[in-house]
Every structure is written in structure tokens, then in C-alpha cells.
Amino acid sequence: MDRLLKILKLIRPNEDFLLSTDFIMNGQLDSFDILMLVTELEKTFSIKIESSDVTPENMLNLETIKLMLEKYGISDIAVNKTDKAIYLDSSSITSM
């Protein structure tokens, strides 16, 4: 989960993604942010996300992103609402 939160915080550093159930409806992610998220997920997890999986439904919240990643064999992401939010600068993403 830390890696996923770091990616989200890189894209939108001032947002609290832990308790949100709908990143899009809450205005936390827009279409450009989703494209950035997909790019960072692909780089971080060494996967290629199919365009058919780049949907608002798959990017709603931590749980839906986790489920989409599981389709690509990434299963080591636990969703724990008690995790602390991670605030970082853009250089921190490379240290994952």
C-alpha cells in the first residue's frame, strides 16, 4: 500500500486518499491524473495496463485500484484504513 499511496501523493500531494471512497467524485483525481497514475503504476510494478482497464470504475479508491492490480499479478498491496498518509516530494517516488 505504501507504494500506491506514494504514487497518489506524487500526483496530488495535498489529498487524503486513505478514507475516500470515490477519488473522482470527490475531485481528488481528474482524467489527466488517472493517466499519470496508470503511467506510474506501470513503471512501479513493471506491468502494462490494458486500455480497457483504464476506467473510472478501476480508479475510484484504493480498493478498486488494488483489485485492478491483482489482475496483473500484483497481490502484495494491502488496504489498511489505519495507515498514515504519506506526504512526500516528487523525488521520493524513485526510492520505492
Instruction: Please say if the pLDDT value at position 96 is more than 50.
Output: no
Q: Considering only CA atoms, which of 21, 15, 17 is closest in space to residue 4?
A: 17
Q: What is the pLDDT of residues 21-64, one digit of tens each?
A: 999 999 999 999 999 999 999 999 999 999 999 999 999 999 99
Instruction: Please say if the pLDDT value at position 82 is more than 60.
Output: no
Contacts 24+ apart (CB under 8 A), 34-42: 34/59, 36/11, 37/7, 37/8, 37/11, 37/65, 40/7, 40/10, 40/11, 40/93, 41/4, 41/7, 41/65, 41/69
Per-residue pLDDT, 77: 74
User: pTM (2 decimals)?
Assistant: 0.78
